[in-house]
Amino acid sequence: MKTSGPPATGTYPIYYSGSGWNAMLPARQPRTVLPRDTAFGTIVVGAGYTGLAAARRIAELEPDKSVLVIDAAPVAESSAGRNSGFLINLPHNTNMGGHASPLEVAHKQIRLYDAGLEWLKQLVDSNDIDCGWNPQGKYHAAATSDGVKNLKAALEQYREWGIPYTEIDPDALAAKFGTRYYRYGYHSPHNVFVQPAALIRGLADSLPANVYLLENEPVVALDGSGLFRVQTVRGTFQAERVILANNAFAKALGILRDRIIAIYTYAGMTPQLPEEELQKLGQNEEWGLIPANRLGTTLRRTQDGRFMVRSAYSYEREQALEQTKALLTDCYKRRYPNMASHGFEYLWGGTTALTRNGATFFGLVRPGLYASLGCNGAGVLKGSVYGKLLGEMAVGSQSPLLSDVLSLERPTWLPPEPFRRIGVVSTIRYQAKKAGLER
């Protein structure tokens, strides 16, 4: 893990600092021993939620064949262990930037996410994965009149979809969260909280016996067809089938260069807070709050008495840690001016893969090569269910859920550089300004 110097762009993600969620867990030894075999039935690039789900499913459906999963990072040091741990089983961020979901599409997505959540829960239970699974739903709250409009528009969609919710007035918000920062909010039961690093570790460490996991081993090239050659820093492996689950970094292997971008976002985690400080964070023991603007700030009070703040975006590069610290401290202070300290024990950045129209690429790239890429910032649950279905598709299975996912919109074209950078960076700046106090 790199800790200083410029953040990486290119073949795989390298960060200034490790994941706070992962650092809070007991040490785990990454699996870095090269396999003796170089030929596998399937090679999966990426050991996030998508890659592990695909590998697990293929290994279950083809018990006589072997699967190699390769990741550039130790498990839980990638975005899979850097995210905020919301498992949201609804279309996310609708009406906050043109991502409206027509009824039929929304119903398909909800079916997919519900199936994914049920599957993940089975895996968590059957493998005793201690990841703080808490199905207590999530809050959305607005600090501005534009934010209120966004939330009301989202609730209009909930009504159309037949989804329950509870509206919350400013006094109740203040009691729940210990701040008068927000003027309107609602609770939606469609969310489970997890400790994301614990979940991804548990999934990686419970893979079927015919899966070989290789961590800390970047894939640097992919070529061939019929028989693919996957080249890593230390070796070359072959397989008739390759699954790409490395999100925006698939671009570096020549895939979907004109469809996907990497956007970094940032989080800070406090130390465990003393009881009198925790009381300032409201009456609920564990809660999570999603902002009313895409460029807003997510908050989480964790089961073990810490506070997490996630905010800010940057294009294709990680911003400096000092900048991250200043931004997140400001977000924290504005909401909770009375805390004794606004210090973070951990600060980190992570990547998400975004597409122009919010659609994920799912399916066949060319014969033998499959991909699920572009989770658009909400990929813990989506990645899990899409990865599972991609594994099923790759072995030739069919199901109504697979038909659903194949019927969804595909990512639209993005202009080449430098127009892409100019467009994205100015959109981030404009939206951040517009977000105002939601930031």
Ligand X SMILES: Cc1cc2nc3c(=O)[nH]c(=O)nc-3n(C[C@H](O)[C@H](O)[C@H](O)COP(=O)(O)OP(=O)(O)OC[C@H]3O[C@@H](n4cnc5c(N)ncnc54)[C@H](O)[C@@H]3O)c2cc1C
Measure CA 282 to chain center: 27
85 touching ligand X, by CB under 6 A: yes
CA–CA dist 246, 226 (Å, integer): 21
β-partners of residue 369 are 242, 366
Question: Within 52-71, which residues bind ligand X (CB under 6 A)?
Answer: 70-71
296 touching ligand X, by CB under 6 A: no
Least distance from ligand X to the Cβ atom of residue 80, Å = 4
Let me know if 325 is exposed, middle or buried by CB neighbors in 10 A (0-12, 13-18, 19+).
middle
391 touching ligand X, by CB under 6 A: no
CA–CA dist 164, 154 (Å, integer): 12
CA–CA dist 180, 164 (Å, integer): 25
Site string for ligand X, 253-272 (x = CB under 6 A): ------------x-x-----
CA–CA dist 166, 185 (Å, integer): 9
83 touching ligand X, by CB under 6 A: yes
- Residue from the set 11, 17, 206, 238 that interacts with ligand X by CB under 6 A: 11
13 touching ligand X, by CB under 6 A: yes
The phi and psi torsions of 339 (rounded to 5 degrees) equal -70, 145
CA–CA dist 377, 352 (Å, integer): 5
Q: Which stretch binds ligand X (CB under 6 A): 34-42, 268-276, 321-329, 350-358?
A: 350-358
140 touching ligand X, by CB under 6 A: no
Least distance from ligand X to the Cβ atom of residue 17, Å = 12
218 touching ligand X, by CB under 6 A: yes
Closest CB to ligand X among 177 and 362? 362
Q: For residue 279, give the DSSP letter.
A: G
Q: Which of 398, 418, 202 is nearest to 316 (CA)?
A: 418
Q: Which stretch binds ligand X (CB under 6 A): 75-83, 150-158, 276-284, 332-340?
A: 75-83
- Residue from the set 15, 21, 86, 177 that interacts with ligand X by CB under 6 A: 86
Q: Which residue has the tokens 């690429």?
A: 361
Closest CB to ligand X among 147 and 377? 377
With beta carbons less than 8 A apart as the criterion, state whether 42 and 68 touch: yes
- Residue from the set 15, 16, 49, 307 that interacts with ligand X by CB under 6 A: 49
Q: Which residue has the tokens 């050991």?
A: 47
Closest CB to ligand X among 217 and 277? 217
Least distance from ligand X to the Cβ atom of residue 6, Å = 18
CA–CA dist 293, 148 (Å, integer): 10
47 touching ligand X, by CB under 6 A: yes
Closest CB to ligand X among 383 and 391? 383
Site string for ligand X, 219-248 (x = CB under 6 A): x-------------------------xxx-
- Residue from the set 7, 18, 48, 147 that interacts with ligand X by CB under 6 A: 48
- Residue from the set 56, 82, 176, 342 that interacts with ligand X by CB under 6 A: 82
Q: Which helix (H) or strand (E) holds 113?
A: helix 103-126
Task: Classify each residue of 214-223 as buried b or exposed e, where b means 16 or more C-beta atoms within 10 Å of its C-beta.
Answer: bbbbbbeebe
328 touching ligand X, by CB under 6 A: no
Which amino acid type is present at position 347? L
Which positions ≥6 away from 92 have C-beta within 8 Å? 377, 378
Which positions ≥6 away from 385 have C-beta within 8 Å? 53, 112, 113, 115, 116, 119, 401
Q: Which of 302, 357, 242 is nearest to 232 (CA)?
A: 242
CA–CA dist 234, 218 (Å, integer): 9
Question: Within 177-206, which residues bind ligand X (CB under 6 A)?
Answer: none
Closest CB to ligand X among 368 and 379? 379
- Residue from the set 15, 40, 237, 249 that interacts with ligand X by CB under 6 A: 249
Closest CB to ligand X among 50 and 188? 50
Q: Which stretch binds ligand X (CB under 6 A): 59-67, 348-356, 415-423, 430-438?
A: 348-356
Q: Which stretch binds ligand X (CB under 6 A): 104-112, 137-145, 325-333, 374-382?
A: 374-382
Closest CB to ligand X among 8 and 174? 8
Task: Classify each residue of 194-211 as buried b or exposed e, where b means 16 or more C-beta atoms within 10 Å of its C-beta.
Answer: bbbbbbbbbbbeebeebb
72 touching ligand X, by CB under 6 A: yes
Least distance from ligand X to the Cβ atom of residue 276, Å = 28
CA–CA dist 295, 297 (Å, integer): 7
Measure CA 270 to chain center: 21
Q: Interface residues with ligand X (CB under 6 A)?
A: 11-13, 45-51, 70-73, 78-80, 82-86, 218-219, 245-247, 249, 265, 267, 310, 350-352, 375, 377-381, 383
